[in-house]
Structure 1
Amino acid sequence: MTRPLPDAASQPRPPEGPTVDAPEQPAVPVGDDDDIAGPTTEQLRLSYYAISDVGRVRKDNQDSGYAGPWLLAVCDGVGGAARGDIASSTAVYELRQLDEAPGSADLLTRVTDGLHEAHQSIAVQVDQDPALSGTSTTATVALFDGQRIAIGHIGDSRGYLYRAGELSQITTDHTFVQSLIDEGRITEEEARVHPHRNLILKALDGLHEVEPDLFAIALAPGDRVFLCSDGASGVLEDARMADILSSGSPEFAAIELVRASLDAGSSDNVTCVVADVLTEEQAAADASYSDLEPMVVGAAAELKRRTPRGLFRGHRSGDTGELEPVDAEIPEGVGYAIQADPPVDPETYRYAPLAPRRFTWLRRLLAAVIVLGLVWIGLASAYWWSQQQYYVGEHEGQVAVYRGIDGLPGLSSVYRTTDLALDDLPEGARAQVEEGIDADSYEDAKDTVLRIAADAVPADGQE
């Protein structure tokens, strides 16, 4: 069922939201739940849809997503030698425990606890299988209590709020390029094509201390919440996302966002979670709302099957691959210790640089020896060739045969001297000898000397 968003003019005016130019500012102040005032006091509901796609390049889906009546989440796992699909699915299965009606616990505290539980579960996975060392995942979580959402964010998956026709990014990427943007060194457009745009600075890895961004946003009827992995946000402009989010049901919007990401050339997995904020009356009037069940998509849903599916073949299975995926090439010299059949996606450079190679100094030394050897061979070959060359010239007033290259002192030396004085030669022959007469061989040089001697004039001027 396609349901247009409620007319913003007919709704209570929400407080000022964040702007795209300053995504680090949440829609309402960060603080305890008691400090957060919403634009409405009525109980609200979420109508949601989640979808994840392996994409057109990746062999495996390392994204995981979740959508339920109280919780929305997107996790994007690190690839390469460590199984990112395990990290993201582990995180989602821990976070989904938050999907229950709100109780007395502080909303932000529940999000923090959920992220820490996911962090610890990943650590347990690594302890049980050392081959997973280095695995990690992003996490963007929105926990709903009927009037507001508490956001927990770490990594470069993103959260957006579409309100009254305006799209606002409500999370800030924990990435190297975002730090360059914050410093004013590059623009948002330049960040999209920066060679290190996928290098993140924070993630859930079971090792480092979890330091997520935490804040809360009061919701209003007609709002639309959108969470996605960087497979979507990395290729879609804000205007394009806003256009898709401006109409249709959450299911329509989520599927179209995935399709648009693939059409825009995304080479990554793509995961999108879209949720509409409804009043209780709107939810009751929506026939599809009563059929909603929690949705698990991506690696968390497909981990056992591990087989990519085709275009929109069962939306709720969470895979919408438009083209058959192709194997990514494994960079030369990169080894994989994972025992998996089929092999996992070799997404080596996803979020962190490769570990330093072993014996780097030895490889450099061998390379230097090889280069020096090639240079020596080249010089030796050039010297050998020069010593096969001959010419006739002058040495201490006498005609002589030289071996080497005329005019290059280091590659030229007297090979034979004669008793033919330069002064005994006619003027023309003398000039030729002084300049140097090239010869094809020693025999040719000797014939040249004999020819010159035949034209020589004795010192006394007699024939």
Structure 2
Amino acid sequence: MSGPDPEAATATAEDTGSGGMLRLHYSAISDVGRVRKDNQDSGYAGPWLLTVCDGVGGAARGDIASGTAVQQLRRLDEQPPSGLTPDDLLGRVAGALHRAHDRIGELVDEDPALNGTSTTATVLVFDGTRAGIGHIGDSRAYLYRAGEISQLTHDHTFVQSLIDEGRITEPESRVHPHRNLILKALDGIHEAEPDLFLADLQPGDRLLLCSDGASGVLDDARLADVLSTGTPDYAAVELVRASLEAGSSDNVTCIVADVLDEAAAAGRAAALDELQPLLVGAAAELRRRPVKGARPAGIFRGHRSGDTGELEPVQAEIPDLPPDVHAIPSDPIDPETARYAPREPFRFFWLRRLMVALIAVGLVWMVAAGAWTWSQSQYYVGEQDGQVVIFRGVNTSLPGIDLSQPFATTNVELDRLPAFVAEGVRDGIAADDFADAEAIVDNLASEMSPAESLDRGSVDTGTRASAAQRVITWP
């Protein structure tokens, strides 16, 4: 293999146990890409852990979801205890994924603006001889062995389900209008159901974990071609470069790791003298926040030093700060706390409370009015009385307030759709605008079983305005 690329950071997982253990020599790269404004991918590579998370949510801050997931998952980067059984190894992976899932849910509860955020997660935990893998979403893990590449994970996407049913081919899935629709993710709301499995590793294996910014534009042959040469540094940089040159419109994150025995590791001793975990993408930017909750402009941009793809990941120096054992918690019902709490003069006490209450009510009203106005420019495809319906508004509700209304009826019947597609419709499929919602309906119509001949799903004939008058209902 060629010498190390000085522009990329590397590290190894050294054997601290018996001589039969293997080591990982890895590199991690994340690029914001040439289209996106923010990097919503996150990645982590350490001696015992490789993981890629691709945030989903757009305005709902997918970067926070992926960064939060990686912050939870990175706790797996420690040497597993001796005698760990396969079930124990997979249990550690599953536990970490569920903790990440729960933490995202907590953030959504704390900040409703994050509602709708989620992230994929592909996790590989190394124990010295094998890998415990957890996977949810459409990020991927590959194994390159003896000149052959194989995909270890299975996408949880709409198009993958069509491939599994033999309805479309892999090349067709790359241009399918709904190729980006994922069916599973960590969102803190729906039950997390990751795939969990083991992979035995051999010296000479090369592992690749990547977001769909790479796998969506590079086929297996191209991936294998890049993985066949060079160090992990070289391969990771070239994969990102190749993805951008192939027209990727997404963030691109790649982690490449070589599996080494002691002899191979000794041959790379010069390149393996620094044992630093690597943190890239949104997770690295979240780490750099000087104050919790602060969001300086541009802070979530990915790491790139130009459109040529010459990238430099950052070191994952994320200290776990212990709580101050000398601090006294503030408890409002603690007599000592109340005793020393400063108090306002009594004559101003109720006036201040009244003003605060009025301001709070005014702010709530303004936010509610703004949210309602914004919601009426949103559309999604859902179900009503067994039929597919285009709704105007957002696919959620507040106590006593319905934030969406049927906007256009269709003749697409839910019970004539495949079960997994029907379930997606029941959950609601977001659309960019009304035209996109119509396109989704057209696609659903093509999925109906041919029990009887019906026209494609669409709004009633006539102008859009007249159709709207027939189907819009007002409170």
Distance 2:79 2:227 in 1: 27
**Considering only aligned residues, what root-mean-square deviation do their CA atoms show, in Å?**
2.9
> In the alignment, which residue of structure 2 is the partner of 1:290?
273
Task: Quote the offset at 1:152 in angstroms.
Answer: 0.3
Distance 2:109 2:91 in 1: 27
Distance 1:370 1:212 in 2: 41
Contact 1:55/1:267 (<8 A) preserved: yes
Q: What amino acid sits opposite 1:358 in the alignment?
A: S
Task: Quote the offset at 1:127 in angstroms.
Answer: 1.2
**Aligned partner of residue 209 in structure 1, secondary structure:** coil
> In the alignment, which residue of structure 2 is the partner of 1:165?
147
> In the alignment, which residue of structure 2 is the partner of 1:301?
284
Task: Quote the offset at 1:64 in angstroms.
Answer: 0.2
Higher RCO by CA contacts (8 Å cutoff, separation 6 or greater): 1
Task: Quote the offset at 1:188 in angstroms.
Answer: 0.1
Render the CA deviation track for 1:344-376: whole Å, top value 9, x for unaligned: xxxx99xxx99447344499999228999xxxx
Distance 1:96 1:176 in 2: 29
Matched, 1:2 2:12: no
Q: 1:209 to 1:219 in 2, by over 3 A?
A: same
Task: Quote the offset at 1:246 in angstroms.
Answer: 0.2
Render the CA deviation track for 1:129-173: whole Å, top value 9, x for unaligned: 111111100000000000000110000000100000000001100
Distance 1:240 1:272 in 2: 14
**Aligned partner of residue 58 in structure 2, secondary structure:** coil
Matched, 1:91 2:73: no
Q: What amino acid sits opposite 2:300 in the alignment?
A: R
Q: 1:281 to 1:61 in 2, by over 3 A?
A: same
Superposed counterparts of 1:215-234, under 5 Å = 215-234=197-216
Q: TM-score, normalised by structure 1?
A: 0.62
Render the CA deviation track for 1:7-66: whole Å, top value 9, x for unaligned: xxxxxxxxxxxxxxxxxxxxxxxxxxxxxxxxx992100000001000000000000001
Of the three residues 73, 80, 87, the one matched with 2:51 is 73
Distance 1:89 1:46 in 2: 23
Q: What amino acid sits opposite 2:59 in the alignment?
A: A
Render the CA deviation track for 1:315-361: whole Å, top value 9, x for unaligned: 1249xxxxxxxxxxxxxxxx997xxxxxxxxxx99xxx994473444
> In the alignment, which residue of structure 1 is the partner of 2:134?
152
Report the identity percentage: 66
Distance 1:156 1:165 in 2: 24
Superposed counterparts of 1:86-125, under 5 Å = 86-103=64-81, 104-105=83-84, 106-125=88-107
Contact 2:29/2:311 (<8 A) preserved: no
> In the alignment, which residue of structure 1 is the partner of 2:359?
none
Distance 1:231 1:142 in 2: 19
Superposed counterparts of 1:20-419, under 5 Å = 42-103=20-81, 104-105=83-84, 106-286=88-268, 287-303=270-286, 304=289, 305-308=299-302, 309-311=304-306, 312=309, 315-317=312-314, 355-356=394-395, 358-361=404-407, 367-368=465-466
Distance 2:109 2:96 in 1: 20
Task: Quote the offset at 1:314 in angstroms.
Answer: 5.1
Contact 2:214/2:248 (<8 A) preserved: yes
Q: 1:214 to 1:366 in 2, by over 3 A?
A: closer
Distance 1:111 1:77 in 2: 19
Q: Unaligned 5+ residue runs, structure 2?
A: 5-17, 290-298, 316-368, 372-378, 381-390, 396-402, 409-433, 435-458, 471-475
Distance 1:289 1:207 in 2: 42
Task: Quote the offset at 1:209 in angstroms.
Answer: 1.0
Distance 2:465 2:144 in 1: 57
Task: Quote the offset at 1:291 in angstroms.
Answer: 1.4
> In the alignment, which residue of structure 2 is the partner of 1:434?
none
**Aligned partner of residue 135 in structure 2, secondary structure:** strand
Q: What amino acid sits opposite 1:90 in the alignment?
A: T
**Aligned partner of residue 238 in structure 2, secondary structure:** helix
Contact 1:81/1:336 (<8 A) preserved: no
> In the alignment, which residue of structure 1 is the partner of 2:345?
none
Distance 1:116 1:240 in 2: 34
Distance 1:314 1:213 in 2: 31
**Aligned partner of residue 259 in structure 1, secondary structure:** helix
Distance 1:371 1:67 in 2: 55
Task: Quote the offset at 1:80 in angstroms.
Answer: 2.1
- Runs of at least 4 residues off by over 6 Å: 362-366, 369-372
**Structure index of larger Rg:** 1
Contact 2:63/2:300 (<8 A) preserved: no
Distance 1:124 1:239 in 2: 42
Task: Quote the offset at 1:284 in angstroms.
Answer: 2.9
Task: Quote the offset at 1:260 in angstroms.
Answer: 0.1
Task: Quote the offset at 1:237 in angstroms.
Answer: 1.1
Distance 2:301 2:132 in 1: 34
